[in-house]
């Protein structure tokens, strides 16, 4: 097995984990908040795990992609890869600017027993998940199809 093949495998694996990290928890959290106490606590724990996987697999995707598209990986950098990298970085920025603060506010509200505030705080999370998946898809298209 060559280094280039191993890097490509790790990059695709990281990207698949990144895509999957946001599929399950936004809806589960919304349903748990609709049910009220005590249901939100496990869903909030699941959401924190999902965001941790989102961050870790996102960083792994960016790092493996950068190494793969370097002289070490043997793949030349081109415009599609640069655009895909930019979209991936925007997705990571949304994680820190939108998803994490919203989840933190929802967690704090549930801890204080204020389910209505938690519901309001969590309304941004499905928008984050949809935007994140769109950015992921666009990044994939930029890297697969020549630009």
Residue by residue, DSSP assigns 90-125 as: HHHHHIIIIIHHHHHHHHHHHHTT-HHHHHHHHTHH
Under 8 Å between Cβ of 81 and 104 = no
Q: Where are the domains of the chain?
A: 3-144
pLDDT of 146: 76
Q: What is the pLDDT of residues 77-108, one digit of tens each?
A: 899 999 999 999 999 999 999 999 999 999 99
Distance CA 135, CA 90 (A): 8
pLDDT of 108: 97
Ramachandran assignment for 74, one of left (phi > 0), alpha (psi -120 to 50 degrees), beta (any other): left
Distance CA 73, CA 89 (A): 20
Burial readout 87-104 (b: 16 or more C-beta within 10 A, e: otherwise)? bbebbbebbeebbbebbe
Residue where the block lists tokens 């655009």: 83
User: Average pLDDT, stretch 73-77?
Assistant: 88
pLDDT of 77: 87
Give pTM, 2 decimals.
Answer: 0.91
């Amino acid at each position: 097995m060559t280094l280039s093949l191993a890097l490509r495998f790790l990059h695709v694996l990281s990207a698949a984990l990144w895509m999957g990290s946001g599929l399950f928890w936004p809806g589960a959290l919304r349903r748990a908040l609709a049910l009220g106490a005590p249901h939100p606590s496990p869903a909030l724990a699941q959401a924190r795990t999902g965001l941790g996987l989102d961050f870790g697999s996102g960083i792994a995707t960016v790092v493996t992609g950068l190494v793969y598209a370097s002289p070490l990986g043997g793949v030349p950098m081109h415009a599609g890869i640069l655009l895909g990298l930019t979209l991936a970085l925007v997705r990571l920025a949304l994680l820190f600017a939108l998803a994490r603060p919203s989840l933190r506010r929802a967690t704090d509200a549930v801890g204080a027993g204020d389910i209505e505030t938690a519901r309001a705080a969590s309304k941004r999370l499905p928008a984050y998940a949809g935007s994140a998946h769109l950015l992921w898809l666009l990044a994939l298209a930029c890297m697969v199809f020549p630009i």
